[in-house]
Amino acid sequence: MGLTRDFFITLSQNQALNSAAKRWGLKLGAQSVVAGTNIEEMIASVKKLNAQGISATVDNLGEFVYEREEALKAKEEILAVIQAIHDHQVDAHISLKPTQLGLDISYNFCLENLREIIEKANQYGIFVNFDTEDYGHLQPTFDLIDELSADYNNIGTVIQAYFYHSMENIKKYKDFRLRIVKGAYKEPEHLAYQDKKDIDENYIKLIEYHLLNGKFTSIATHDHHIINHVKQFVKQHNIPKDKFEFQMLYGFRKDLQLQLVKEGFHFCTYVPFGNDWFGYFMRRLAERPQNLSLIAKQIFNK
């Protein structure tokens, strides 16, 4: 399992494969977990989710960008997504990754790209979530949030439970709308828990802390054990349903997504779309090698 995870995470960061895959269209089964390659397809998927009582957080796929032109293109695409969310009046907000907007090129360049995006989203009352990436980009991401949140309040971020120091971060961002996740990257032992049991324990602690704090909490997991625990916890502590939501990725555990909606919980699906799908898809395979069956199904259905 460890070796399989490392293998897919290494592939997810392979620059040559990531670039090549942009020209392939959606392949290898990625079409099951990526909602199309353009805005029209994404909006159609969001409308379907909305019709089922599910809101969406839309990710115009892209990460680890090293060329200014590519980062500027990503910014324009995200501005177009914001416009489309507004024009179609769908129930959706934005998820983005700072490395897609040039964090590795220059901090200030990324800051200005983000400012433009947040400004436009703010005009339309659309929330923008900063996804958290690998450890090397974590502090700069928080620095960007600190600067931008001085001017805007439509920003939130993600806390990754595998880091030993995540409780400090959740305390620092206690007034923010936060998504809490287990963590998707490969991090060394001196920074992050490696065992599922330790990660799960810390994950629950973080969720409970933020829920009790009264700020909006997005519990982003496919893990039914965690979801069941949260259901009990919110009941015991009388935490109103409008103070939290469950989130899952597009294409995963659709029955459970709908079941939670049926039980009256707020639910938000993470909707990735675009050509830059390879890294995202490889991380999904790293998390759960059973996801390889998605590939098999796609191949045999052809």
253 is catalytic: no
Query: By CB under 6 A, what part of segment 206-235 binds ligand FDA?
Result: 220-223
287 belongs to the binding site for ligand FDA (CB under 6 A): yes
Residue 254: left (phi > 0), alpha (psi -120 to 50), or beta? alpha
Choose among 94, 207, 97, 214: nearest CA to 159: 207
Pairing of strands 155-160, 217-220: unpaired
Cβ-contact 173, 144 below 8 angstroms = no
Binding range to ligand FDA, per CB under 6 A, among 44-52, 86-94, 146-154, 249-257: 249-257
271 belongs to the binding site for ligand FDA (CB under 6 A): no
Binding range to ligand FDA, per CB under 6 A, among 26-34, 74-82, 107-115, 181-189: 181-189
| Among 75, 182, 186, 210, contact with ligand FDA (rule: CB under 6 A) | 182
| Among 18, 60, 132, 217, contact with ligand FDA (rule: CB under 6 A) | 132
Neighbours of 97 (CB within 10 A): 23
| Among 32, 100, 160, 166, contact with ligand FDA (rule: CB under 6 A) | 160
Active-site residue (options: 59, 131, 200, 276): 131
Give min distance, CB of 246 to ligand FDA, in A. Answer: 9
| Among 30, 33, 117, 131, contact with ligand FDA (rule: CB under 6 A) | 131
| Among 85, 181, 234, 271, contact with ligand FDA (rule: CB under 6 A) | 181
What gap in Å lies between CA 9 and CA 278, rounded to an integer? Answer: 11
34 belongs to the binding site for ligand FDA (CB under 6 A): no
92 belongs to the binding site for ligand FDA (CB under 6 A): no
63 belongs to the binding site for ligand FDA (CB under 6 A): no
Active-site residue (options: 59, 104, 177, 179): 179
| Total number of residues shown for the chain | 302
Q: Which residues bind ligand FDA (CB under 6 A)?
A: 131-132, 158, 160, 181-185, 220-223, 247-249, 252-253, 270, 287-288
Give the residue numbers marked as catalytic: 131, 179
